[in-house]
Amino acid sequence: MQKYLSLIKFSHTIFAMPFAMTGFFLGYSILEEPFQWVIFMLVVMCMVFGRSAAMAFNRWLDRDVDANNPRTKVREIPAGLISADAALWFVVMNSLLFIISSYFINPLCFVLSPIALMVILGYSYTKRFTALCHIVLGVGLALAPVGAYLAVTARFDFIPVLFGFAVMFWVAGFDIIYALQDEDFDKNNHLNSIPAALGRIRSMRLSQIFHVLSAGFMVIAVFLSHDLYPTLGITSIIGLGIFCLFLIYQHMIIKPSDLSRVNMAFFTTNGASSLIFGTLFIVDLMI
């Protein structure tokens, strides 16, 4: 079990899960119905199964690429800890569990579940033909707040979509930073990425632009939430401020000439910003 948790980087679920919970509790608040533990657990299951399928598929598809990259050759499949066939079966199992879980949520989520899978699994192919792969990854994680809101309300609304755009640009921005580590490898192996296409300095500038857009969508979403949800107070504003400060901080610690703190920016900073904002927003919304 441990090797499969490592394969899918289970701890990275922290990136999208707080935003999924934000969408869930927004929907729950607007309906003013008793809390539905079954729907809550099904949403969590969909998040876990969907992300597990996407991450394992990425590792399966990139197994030959990973084997040739000094940074990634220690991953489970190229290192021989998990066979390629076992990883693919893991993808199939989690994809089926994702669709089955969505069936028990509501008909809309069930109908949309194959489309969601196409997005989150299809991302793994994008590096082979477009440098916009980072945005596609962002779209995949942006489904979290929208999908969780649909699970509760079975309808689309403006605010969770705004949170989705915030997540999309947030993820695309920090994924560009992470991809800086493989700039030379991508160029030499004909793989597409923003760093390979634009170089280190311009890529970092584009990452900054994406994070400015993310902050903008977050601000709009939070303040519109204050207009529609009377229970919201200062706590959610504090969470928004912390999220934006973390965006600024990760660009302060990464320099074109020094990528030694990329992992801190990618994992620690973004994980903390998502968790803190999601927690404070939900606490403010519910209390």
CATH architecture of 9-286: Orthogonal Bundle (1.10)
Measured between alpha carbons, how far is 19 from 22 in angstroms, rounded to an integer?
A: 5
- pLDDT at position 64 is 94
> What is the C-alpha separation between 121 and 254, in angstroms, rounded?
30
pLDDT given for residue 170 in this prediction: 97
Q: What is the pLDDT of residues 165-197, one digit of tens each?
A: 999 999 999 999 999 999 999 999 999 999 999
Residues of the chain falling short of pLDDT 50: none
Q: Tell me how far the alpha carbon of residue 121 is from its chain's centroid.
A: 13
What pLDDT score does 15 carry? 78
User: What CA–CA distance (Å, rounded) separates 124 from 117?
Assistant: 12
Amino acid at 160: P
pTM across the whole model: 0.94
Give the pLDDT of residue 29: 86
Determine the pLDDT at residue 4: 66
Task: Give the pLDDT score at 6.
Answer: 64
111 is written with which tokens?
């109908």
Q: What is the pLDDT of residue 246?
A: 94
Measured distance CA(281)–CA(123) in Å, rounded: 29
Q: What is the mean pLDDT of the chain?
A: 91
Token reading at 247 = 């965006």
The residue ranges of every structural domain in the chain are: 9-286
Tokens at residue 185, please?
């490898």
